[in-house]
Structure 1
Amino acid sequence: MEISFKGKRILVTGAGQGVGRGIAIELWRAGANIVALSKTRIHLETLQSEYPSIDIVDVDLADWEKTRAVVESLGHFDALVNNAAIAICEPFLSCSPGDFDKTFDVNVKAVLNISQVVARKMVENKTHGTIVNISSQASKAALKDHAIYSSSKAALDALTRAMALELGPHGIRVNAVNPTVIMTAMAKVGWADPNKAAEMKSKIPLGRFGEVSEVVNAVVFLLSDRSSMINGVELPIDGGFLAT
């Protein structure tokens, strides 16, 4: 199934590495004009060195006002992928207010912030745009030492549904994908321990963790016209973990 984004302008957050980088590259390959946004400049520069036509922007998404000003300055987009996130894994009894705030500032508030700016311009331009939020299986199932992270992704799912409801009448679709463990640099924070990883894999009917490409393919589909009647879903990409 060939999907083209020729002539479309798409913003991808957290695009410096991991899943976000994979999404940005695949959308670029499909003809999109990509703006890659991340906190870490060096990661963006390595991306641009490989794909010079990808525009890069660095900003700390935890800074509401600066992020808002930067995204406002970028102009109109046809689609948005909210991929940027942080993971702080610690036992429930050790969770601190500082870690809670850090996580929610990036994983939830930044999505609200960026999406408001992008969606308003879609409405103003009468663009039937698409937004995909990168959530997690952790929003649906309790995982040890993931209290704050899981809570942030559950909030993101709820935000996705609210966005789909309110933006749908403007022809803007909003969906989320909920991957299992994808062994990116961020995932290694929680799953580098072989024993812990083996225990998780034993709960996944397919018996393995996911690949970056498997998340990318789902995101590309949800951004495309091939999914034109899909709105407000939270799509597990988990090998059956949530089915058990």
Structure 2
Amino acid sequence: MADWIKRFSLTGKVALVTGATKGIGFDVCKVLADAGADIAAVGRDAAGLAEVKQAVEALGRKCVTIDADLASTEGPVAAARTALQSFGTIDILVNNAGIALIDNLLEASIEDWDKTMAVNLRAPFLLARELAPKMIAQRSGKIINISSQAGVVALDGHAAYSSSKGGLNMLTKTMTCEWAKHNIQSNAICPTVILTPMGEQVWGDPAKGKPMLDKLPLGRFGKPQEVADLVLYLASPASDLICGETILIDGGFTAL
């Protein structure tokens, strides 16, 4: 095996991926499995979990599916503990699950605000807190938080979503402050609009999507695999010096 392939290999590693049944999470599971990782796939959709399990096993890797409600306080903890029982340790945590409940500040409901914070910010904290002790004990680990361009620059109607993702970016930095000394690399990925089902729901209407598209110098929205490929890099030994970063994958949006 060529040296560069070894640097990107995940052979012998185990990754827990939330939001694994569709969009970015589904592609992350496939890409990490293709690189050699076994997968703990967390989601709510039974059919989607069965599909991702089939896709991972077709690549020759083990896949354990976990049904968990990440909006609750119990769901993330139970998911992490089930994964640890199944594999013994989790080497890579990909906090991908997220929701976007779009409304302006004057009309946003408390319920939508609380649910957004629970899924997008509290769940990553709870999962990381459950899995970090094993990573500390083995002196290695990768935590990859899927944040958003909207966590770096404000977007109309995205108050709860942007606040949750901005918080996730700072949580990532705090993880670095506390855990980098144990050889745990924590980073956040901040994509622009990615054409997942959620992306289509929010930005599929040309009246809303075209003004956003016009702000991207690259001239197009992203694809789930493009985010998954960056996850692979951050999960691999090739990125061991990268820690505490919020990495924009935004088609040049924030360059303007």
Normalised by the size of structure 2, how large is the TM-score?
A: 0.92
Report whether the alignment pairs 1:177 with 2:189.
yes
Indicate the SS of the match to 1:235: strand
Which structure 1 segments of 5+ residues have no match?
A: none
Which moves more between the two structures, 88-97 or 49-58? 49-58
Question: What is the distance in 2 between the residues matched to 1:67 and 1:159?
Answer: 16
Query: In the alignment, is the contact (CA less than 8 A) between 1:129 and 1:172 conserved in 2?
Result: yes
Q: Is the 8 A contact 2:39 2:56 kept in 1?
A: no
Which of residues 29, 39, 53 in structure 1 aligns to 2:44? Answer: 39
The structure 2 residue matched to 1:103, chosen from 116, 132, 144, is 116
- Correspondent of 2:132 among 114, 119, 126: 119
Q: What is the SS of the residue equivalent to 1:106? A: helix
Q: 1:60 aligns with which of 50, 59, 69?
A: 69
The amino acid that maps onto 2:113 is F
How do residues 170-209 of structure 1 correspond to structure 2 at under 5 angstroms?
170-209=182-221
Partner amino acid, structure 2, of 1:232: G
Displacement after TM superposition at 1:208 (Å): 0.7
Q: Which runs of 4+ in 1 moved over 4 A?
A: none
**CA displacement 1:186-217 (0-9 Å, x = unmatched):** 11231011121111011111011011111111
Q: Which residue of 2 aligns with 1:77?
A: 90
Q: Which residue of 2 aligns with 1:49?
A: 54
The question of whether the paired residues in 1 share the 8 Å contact of 2:196 and 2:223 is answered with: no
TM-score by length of 1: 0.96
Q: Which amino acid aligns with 2:176?
A: A
- Of 9, 12, 15, 2:14 maps to 9
RMSD of the TM alignment (CA)?
1.2
Pick aligned residue for 1:94 from 101, 107, 116: 107
Q: Percent identity?
A: 42
- Contact kept, 8 Å, 2:99 with 2:119, in 1: the verdict is yes
Structure 2 unaligned spans of 5+? none
